[in-house]
A and B are shown apart, each in its own frame.
Chain A
Amino acid sequence: MTRKTMLAVAVLTSAMFACGQDTEKVVIDGSSTVGPIAKAFATYFMAANPDINVTVSESGSGNGAKSMVAGNCDIADMSRAMKPVEFKHAVENDVLPVPHVVALDGIALVTHLSNPVQELSMEQIRDIYLGRIRNWSELGGPARPIVVITRDTNSGTFESFEKLVMGDKKIMSGAEVVGSNGQMRSRVESTPAAIGYVGLGFVEGVRALTIDGVEPTPRAIKTGDYPVARPLFMYTDGYPELGSALYRFVTIYLSSEGQEIVEDLGFVPVTSY
């Protein structure tokens, strides 16, 4: 009986999943911030090229770099520039990382919508993350201990935040750690006393703070007024051969459709049509 059912299941599934043969594949791995862009590009790209299979993993910027050097992926999404160490490691393994800046992104400091604190200075943010300011009442908010939330260390967002906000100081060890922008957003949204930071595409349902008097708007990011902003990268091994699937994929961001996708996802495009 079981053998029959197994056979039936196998036949059924293979019948149900009948689809075209994949001839080419583009494997993408890396940052969870760039992930949405990569996934949206992939959807757009696969609709235009049904015979190419694009897979996207979001295991963190460092993982992306690691896996490209190991030859395990074609494109490494990174929300920070490659470090000298990584670059050296790549070159030693005959991989030449070439960056493509697909979009710009601001890192928004976010709090719960019920929190009356609307603006902070860089100094205050740093003090919160160092554990020097422990209660919202010190910042003119309600008397609640601050729940400080940070990202896991394998995220490019964390690295950018660390570099742009913390300088050379270490985030206090009492900070809660979440694994991704989406999780950060939902944690902050459900925790009245929380503070966290996310990419600009993730600010729905939370309050993005004004920093040093500058709101995190696309324009402020483009002009460089907003202090916590960075480019987002896709790295390839060498510049892809013109006309190849890989080339067509990493140049989507240059087209007007690509620009629209980037904008709709809440990031800042590098082109302006």
Chain B
Amino acid sequence: MKRDSRRIMDRAFSGVGLFSILVMGLFLLFVLGPIIGRGISAYVFRGTIEHRRFLLENFERGDSSRFEREMQAVREARRPVFRHLREFEAAMDESRELRSEYRRSFRELEEAVHHLIGPDPEDKAPVLVRKKYGATRLDQARTHLFEAMHEERWVPDPDNPGGALIRTHTPRGEHFAGTRLEPLFPYLEEHFEAMLQPGWTFYWRFLTDRSIDSHFFGGIGPEVLGTLYLTLGAMLFAMPMGIIAAIYLCEYARPGRVINLIRTCISTLAGVPSIVFGLFGLAFFLNTLQVTQTKSVLAGSLTLALMILPTVIRASEEAILAVPAAYKEAALSLGAGRWHTICTVILPAALPGILTGVVISMGRAAGETAPIIFTAAVSMGEPLQLFDAFSQPTPALPWNIYNLATEHEAVDQIRHVQYGMVFTLVAIVLILNITAIAIRARISSRLKG
């Protein structure tokens, strides 16, 4: 080949490498973009008066006198809407043709209005919490307003008879033209803001509030707490075991068959799929040992601890091996015993490195789902007290993300909660990892002197 072709090949080769790194970076952005963007909106969003009402009534939070003043105006603005609806319903009760023509559309409208501004205060208050309040977020309110204003129908496509139906939206105002309900629609549009009083809300307590009515309202407190318990519990078991094993492997073990076997086992343990850990936790900790009667944080923590043990051992080993030999030799030459040397010289010197590994495996324990499905996770529960934590099951972020995204009865209505959960979990894990990276940076700068 000629030289310039070789040069082009060389460039192309580097290009391929850069391209693949670029792909990785882009994919990361592609994943994190929506998660962060939409996740933050669980914390910061344009909340309506209904959100403030909810907080005041369920968490006794907010300025009640100011709220009362606001609410006064809001009630004024809403009253005509409910009056229109009631009057039209009464008229429908009177006349059969009205009923036959408008019943379905009216029901849809009524439902949309209830979603928008809550139930009519003159009716009996509903039991189900989600029926008590209107839209708490402006984006949802806009959707409900659109549903109230337009009728969605699927009609045959004139260009493609016999084919798929197409969606049409006709303004309800046209449908109800000539009835008493006609003035309602312009009113709804004009007084939309007056009825809901939207304003920017920074709901940081989303992180700590309990959820109310299966995540329609409130926050993700129990899940966050459960994740913390599980993670710390796993650490509590894995850290001492991991560090002791690392000390033994580095300082005491004589090379031989036994140690090779142990090393093989450690790497096997590292390679066991997480779902198998979950089954093992179920079969061993719950069904055989019966550490607790029900699923519990304890069983989950033990399972997770086993799962992260290899990572902790490896990280601790690397950290201990990285301690300069001169330290150890100096301590030994001063007459310190071996154990003494380990405790006073080697471990303190290796501690940052060990912590790095520990923190990273904490991140892994926090994010794993499969091991806790059968051992610890429930889809709903109160935040736990510390001393209950070990005997009771708990909601946890990873499991509840799965649960809300796939098993909830109103998946689409609580997307913001799902994104908020994913965002929170990713944030927890990334904060842990950034901590680890920071520790590592400090170590390397210290080594450079």
Contacts and interface: CB of A to CB of B under 8 A. Distances in A.
A86 to B, nearest CB: 17
Contacts of B163: 116, 142
B409 A182 contact: yes
B90 interface: no
B439 to A, nearest CB: 7
A205 to B, nearest CB: 7
Interface in B286-325: 286-287, 293-295
Interface in B373-401: 373, 377-386, 388, 392-395
A115 B164 contact: yes
Secondary structure call for the B interface: loop
B164 A192 contact: yes
B59 to A, nearest CB: 12
Given A57-B295, A58-B403, A185-B411, A2 B393 contact: no
A268 B212 CA distance: 23
B208 A17 contact: yes
Interface stretch (A40-48, A99-107, A218-226, A237-245): A40-48
Interface string A46-69: 100000011111110000000100
Interface in B197-217: 208, 212-214
Contact of A43 (B164, B213, B379, B409): B213
Nearest to A40: B128
A114 B166 contact: yes
Given A17-B383, A46-B382, A264-B126, A72 B167 contact: no
A270 interface: no
Interface string A182-212: 1101100000100000000110110000000
B92 to A, nearest CB: 19
Contact of B409 (A73, A144, A202): A202
Interface in A154-175: none
A122 interface: no
A133 interface: no
B75 to A, nearest CB: 24
A72 B214 contact: no
B295 A43 contact: no
A131 interface: no
B208 A114 contact: no
A2 B435 contact: yes
Contacts, number: 148
B411 A265 contact: no
B239 interface: no
Nearest to B294: A72
A179 B393 CA distance: 22
Nearest to A183: B406
Contacts of B379: 35, 39, 56-58
Contacts of A113: 154, 165, 167
Nearest to A43: B213
A95 to B, nearest CB: 13
Contact of A56 (B286, B295, B378): B378
Given A142-B164, A182-B406, A264 B131 contact: yes
Interface string B124-166: 0011111100000000000000000000001010001011111
A27 interface: yes
B359 interface: yes
Contacts of A145: none
Interface core residue of A29, A43, A46, A201 (most chain B CB under 10 Å): A43
B437 to A, nearest CB: 12
A2 B164 contact: no
Contacts of B160: 142
Nearest to A53: B382
B220 interface: no
Contact of A142 (B162, B378, B407): B162
Given A27-B294, A142-B164, A114 B154 contact: yes
Interface of A: 2, 5, 13-14, 16-17, 19, 21-22, 25, 27, 29, 32, 35-36, 39-40, 42-44, 46, 53-59, 67, 70-73, 113-116, 140-142, 144, 178-183, 185-186, 192, 201-202, 204-205, 257, 260-261, 264-266
18 contacts: A2-B355, A14-B386, A22-B384, A29-B378, A36-B409, A39-B379, A44-B128, A46-B382, A53-B388, A53-B392, A55-B380, A55-B393, A57-B380, A59-B373, A70-B286, A179-B406, A179-B407, A182-B409
Given A17-B383, A180-B406, 19 more contacts: A2-B435, A13-B225, A13-B228, A14-B386, A22-B392, A25-B392, A39-B213, A43-B129, A43-B214, A44-B128, A55-B382, A56-B379, A58-B379, A73-B294, A142-B160, A183-B406, A204-B410, A261-B128, A266-B409
